[in-house]
Amino acid sequence: MEARDVIIAPLITEKSMAGTVAQQYTFEVNPHATKTQIKSAVAEIFGVTVVKINTVNVMGKKKNFARRGRRSSGNQSDWKKAIVTLAPGQKIALGGVNYFEQ
């Protein structure tokens, strides 16, 4: 798997941005990617040293829809989240202002 196939997108939420103070960054990753593949992909793409990886399989939520008087339900897709801890003093520029680092 290529590095760009492993890392899908960074997660930009209030909780994940608060983790950047402790050099922790959160990414949505390929559900079939292993921790070693994620570690090498982050190191290759961003040029940083990865110390630790935590992964979480996030289950999709059940949603109800109503359209033109008809009710139907469906499920969102399952996805995988990776929390990457970097070596002290390193950071990743995710393109934007991080108010927690100031």
Distance CA 67, CA 84 (A): 41
The whole domain housing 76 covers: 3-86
For residue 71, being part of any structural domain is answered with: yes
User: Can you give the pLDDT of all 102 residues of the chain as single tens digits?
Assistant: 899 999 999 999 999 989 988 999 999 999 999 999 999 999 999 999 999 999 999 999 999 988 888 999 999 999 999 999 999 999 898 776 565 565
Is 33 contained in some domain?
yes
Instruction: Look up the CATH number of the domain holding residue 54.
Output: 3.30.70.330
* Residue 10 belongs to a domain: yes
Quick check: is 45 in a domain? yes
pTM over 0.95? The answer is: no
Rounded to whole angstroms, how far apart are CA atoms 81 and 71? 31
- Give the per-residue pLDDT at 75: 94
Question: What is 38-69 written as a DSSP string?
Answer: HHHHHHHHH---EEEEEEEEEPPPEEEEEETT
Per the domain annotation, does 20 fall within a domain? Answer: yes
Write down the H helix ranges in the chain: 3-6, 14-18, 35-46
Q: Does residue 79 belong to any structural domain of this protein?
A: yes
How is residue 69 written in tokens? Answer: 């008087």
In a domain, 40, yes or no: yes
Residue 94 maps to a domain: no
Give me the number of domains the chain comprises.
1
